[in-house]
Structure 1
């Protein structure tokens, strides 16, 4: 929900969050004759959905509600083949996170096999360039999901630290010490906004900023750094030197650009 009083997406004083829609995308299948209605290709859709499963018996009550999966609720990845995007089939497939990642690895392996040099021959230069361009989005998202899962692991095993003990590393410091890809969100922030990088990671809208940047990267086939470079230079300077909440300010600028 946009804060009307202060005209920003997330307002710390008013504590209002915008509505975040679950991830959803689709791809139309290949056909040799796209104009022939008899050979109309199906689409494959990928969505983040909520399902149910056996109740988790962890012995922990209130704290468990902070996690993605709690009680009998499960966050899943749904894959469906349908006539057109939005027109569901009767039997979509729902995968757990680990199974979804294994499927992604299998898709990459199958793609590699489509130009295996001992089986069917190499790619043309133009085809290789197109594939490498698409792989940049895979590398970016793989880095993001690894950093996200690693952050949850560090916090979950007690490396978040205690504010009263200076010797204990914080979760943010621990995550920041892990090498990151320069084209990832963390790498782009460290390179372009070094003075406020730590504050941005601690911002309550950091997750929203991550989602907005990831969406632009997927849709436009560019890196996180290129997304930030698309923001006006004066605005980037303001975020670095004068903004109270740089992450919120940059999120607002990206949202405004998407609306143009």
Structure 2
């Protein structure tokens, strides 16, 4: 039988030992990773699968995993959010049946590791996912304990006063850029929101970057999409000229 009091006490101790001026999502992410004995992790919130917001990542590998899931639209975090249940996957550079593109590309970026994606549903409905990874071995606690802690973290996030401040946590501004860029693509191509988001994601994949990077290009009008019959997107870089050299 899992000892929930013990793991919750461990979580509270790690959170309390962190600098008080750090945003709560950062402290919660670090504490969750430490209590479970993981190598790294990330917290994402979502109201729909197209509105995932990464609140905090513990290191560069975690950030790469989340960026890749955003761009591809697949991965254990996406599946955990949709199903409301924990998802465990082995990333080894090979294409698995569940997440073929994610497994292949994540393995190339990060090397072999195991990823656990745990949904947060403190009030019943899933509000997001905590994703942790290990290069070798297993978690320090059971999957039931990991789920209990994820729901506890979700409850803490729902009560986070920083969400009501004048200057929100920086991740919200990143996601807002993605939404505004999606709206601009809707206007440029006269397509639906889902299609515009898919175009944004596809361009990020083709360019080997993340959604926020492509959104910034669109918002700064350095990247604009031409109508579908032309079959092209135009990217204006500093120093580009609209006129070629005369023969």
Q: If the length of structure 1 is used for normalisation, what is the TM-score?
A: 0.24
- Give the structure with the larger strand fraction: 2
**Largest Rg, 1 or 2:** 1
More helix by share: 2
